[in-house]
Amino acid sequence: MDIALIGFGKVSYNLVRLIKSQNINFVTSTQNRSQNTIDLINKSDVSVYDSFSQAIENSDIIISANSPSQAIETAEKYGNTSALYLDLNNISPKTANEINNVVENFVDGAIIGKIDSNNPVLYLSGENAKELLFLNEFLNVKVISNRIGDASTLKLLRSIYTKSLSVLLIESYDLAQSLGLEDEFFDVLSLTEGDDFKQKSLSRINNTLKSSKRKSEELEEILQYFNSDELKMVKTALDKLKQF
């Protein structure tokens, strides 16, 4: 089986690393790609074509993992085939449905957590999603429904919780620090939240501060998509995120 990868960054690199099988051949292209991407491709066990059109020609599955802003254009260019087309970009359910309109056999996909973690989880939805269950041999794959948009929606719902919570964590940790009680702060929370709470929290705080701009944009998109007056905590988290 041939799996074509449109985009070869962290996601594709790790998929190739995780999905090791004699029956699966990954293909991609260096067409118009940066040196970073070419280096990643050269480090990986993949067949390389001069163009993406050539790469997808005999593919059974096409995976789009490039950037949310490129998702629709990529689908328009390469999705009109009999192959299964899986989008793993962080796109909104609205974009997923737009892609479904131009792609024959579309599967809505969402990577939960980091792809370079030990056990990445892939949520899938859509009529064709079940055909990708064989990937369970290599990843943790869950098919949630036949509806395009459900996987992307679930990812947004998760972001509402994790991103807002990260801001609350930063706020309370700052206060604990200013009172000289930061160790005790983690100690008391670990009693109910688990032993690894401190380590996870510090990593979450660090990530949030490092990518506050991207996370603000994601929360803005969420507010726009759900267009709900009830998302008061998200609005407050966004205001705060913008100050970092």
Distances (CA, A) of 97 to 54, 93, 147, 152, 229: 26, 6, 10, 10, 24
> What number of chain residues touch ligand NAP (CB under 6 A)?
22
Which of the ranges 68-76, 142-150, 161-169, 221-229 carries the binding residues for ligand NAP, by CB under 6 A? Answer: 68-76
**By the rule CB under 6 A, 89 interacts with ligand NAP:** yes
Alpha-carbon span 63 to 215, nearest angstrom? 24
**By the rule CB under 6 A, 151 interacts with ligand NAP:** no
From 44, 59, 90, 166, residue interacting with ligand NAP (rule: CB under 6 A): 90
Burial 193-205 (b: 16+ CB within 10 A, else e): eeeebbeebeebb
At which residue do the structure tokens 């949520």 appear?
123
**By the rule CB under 6 A, 142 interacts with ligand NAP:** no
Q: How far is the CB of 67 from ligand NAP (least distance, A)?
A: 5
At which residue do the structure tokens 């809505």 appear?
108
C-beta of 18 vs 176, nearer to ligand NAP? 18
**By the rule CB under 6 A, 61 interacts with ligand NAP:** no
**By the rule CB under 6 A, 88 interacts with ligand NAP:** yes
Q: How far is the CB of 51 from ligand NAP (least distance, A)?
A: 11
CB 28 within 8 A of CB 56: no
Alpha-carbon span 83 to 86, nearest angstrom? 10
CB 79 within 8 A of CB 100: no
**By the rule CB under 6 A, 11 interacts with ligand NAP:** yes
From 7, 79, 93, 149, residue interacting with ligand NAP (rule: CB under 6 A): 7
Q: Which helix (H) or strand (E) holds 160?
A: helix 150-178
- Ranked by CB distance to ligand NAP, the top (closest) residue is 9
Binding mask 18-57 for ligand NAP (x = CB under 6 A): ---------------xx-xx--------------------
Which of the ranges 82-90, 168-176, 195-203, 220-228 carries the binding residues for ligand NAP, by CB under 6 A? Answer: 82-90
**By the rule CB under 6 A, 10 interacts with ligand NAP:** yes
**By the rule CB under 6 A, 70 interacts with ligand NAP:** yes
C-beta of 190 vs 211, nearer to ligand NAP? 211
Alpha-carbon span 135 to 209, nearest angstrom? 34
Backbone dihedral angles phi then psi of residue 126, each to the nearest 5 degrees: 120, 160
Distances (CA, A) of 103 to 70, 110, 142: 15, 17, 22
The binding site for ligand NAP (CB under 6 A) comprises 6-11, 33-34, 36-37, 65-68, 70, 74, 88-90, 111, 114-115
